Amino acid sequence: MTPVPMRRRLLAAGAALPWMPTAARAQAGWRPDRPIEYIVPAGAGAALDMSARQFKEIVERRKRVSAPVLVSNKPGGAGAIALNGLAMQPGNGHLVSTYTHSLINSRLLNVVPMGWRDVTPIAVMFEEAILAVVRTESPLKTGGDLVAALRKDPSSVSIGVATSVGNHIHMAIAKPMKAAGVDVSKMTIVPFKSSAESMTAMLGGHIDMISASAPNLTVQLEAGRIRPLAVATAEHIGAPLANVPTWREQGVAADYVSAQGLIGPKGMTADQLAWWTETLREVHESDEWKQFLVKQNWKPRFMPGAEMTRFLESEEAVAKGLLTDLGLLK
């Protein structure tokens, strides 16, 4: 019997060779062989939905998949409905969902039965900027005006957030106000089902200001109906919000960003994660994705696997401190 060279035997067995590039190793192992379901914990047309559909468009155009990516909108329950979809199919590499920062806070507050430790962190894909905004008629002209008002009376300014008290939108205003010496546990926070609803309430004079992410502000900003007081990021963001000062520029030593990415069911294999990591890296590096993020005023940030896990651990510690200060976590 003629001996078979080692290299040929390894290839026949589907094993990855040390000299093979990462992408090739991922393809030599697992790859999707049926449609991928991408669960979005928000309705069609929402910011979360748009990023999922952009991902779908890129991976299908670049033929990373042989079957379609099916975007499945499952809003409600503070993300619990989407999480339940993952819980029902452990180890399924054909199923992913959107990670948002609210997953950390919702689990700490026992709003949802699952947290990031109950899923597989795949990768963070970008950061979103959250701003403090008033209508143009407001007597609050700057972030300093807001700080002065809340130091005097923490309950004097009603602040709208979407979609729940204690989430990342709430944290983005609570963290700088805490740093500015405001008693954040006494702030008047009004939750709404969406940023569109909180914006409508503010423009109608029913609340004084809102905390909201950048994509939700563009239309009303260009119409001249709102005035951003501050952005919670460490640096300025892009047009049309490029001139909005940071909190640090206004004497408040704090910044806050929330992240979005992908998570999968518990029990995904190393081969599945290798394929997803390389696919998301390719999306991250594509011109289409970069242009999409610029349009949404989102900052690219790629953190796969273990790096994402360390990031979540760090952010969870920050959230615990803030939620305790707010009187929401005992």
233-271 pLDDT, tens digit per residue, is 999 999 899 999 999 999 999 999 899 999 999 999 999
**What mean pLDDT do residues 12-18 have?**
39
pLDDT of residue 79: 84
Cβ pair 90, 266 in contact under 8 A: yes
Q: Say whether the peptide bond before residue 75 is cis (omega within 30 degrees of 0).
A: no
Q: Which pLDDT band, with edges at 50, 70 and 90, does 114 fall under?
A: very high
Using left for φ > 0, alpha for ψ between -120 and 50, and beta otherwise, residue 327 falls in left
- What is the pTM (predicted TM-score) of this model? 0.82
What confidence category does residue 330 fall into, taking pLDDT thresholds of 50, 70 and 90?
A: confident
Q: How far is CA 237 from the centre of its chain?
A: 16
Answer yes or no: are the C-beta atoms of 194 and 162 closer than 8 Å: yes
Q: What is the pLDDT of residue 225?
A: 97
pLDDT value of position 1: 42
Closest Cα to residue 211, out of 164, 156, 256, 161?
A: 161
In whole numbers, what is the pLDDT of the chain averaged over residues?
89
Q: Tens of pLDDT along 47-99?
A: 788 999 999 999 999 999 999 999 999 888 878 899 999 999 999 999 999 99
Instruction: Count CA atoms within 13 Å of residue 258 on its CB side.
Output: 27
pLDDT the model gives residue 71: 96
Is pLDDT at 23 greater than 60 in this prediction? no
Point out which residues pair with 192 in neighbouring strands. 162
Helices 270-285 + 47-61 axis angle, to 10:
100
Render the burial of 153-173: b for 16+ CB within 10 Å, e for the rest: ebeebbbbbbbbbbbbbbbbb
C-beta separation of 277 from 122 below 8 A: yes
Contact 226, 135 (CB under 8 A): yes
pLDDT score of 39 more than 60: yes
- Residue 79, token pair as written in the block: 């993300």
Q: What is the pLDDT of residue 47?
A: 79
**pLDDT value of position 46:** 79
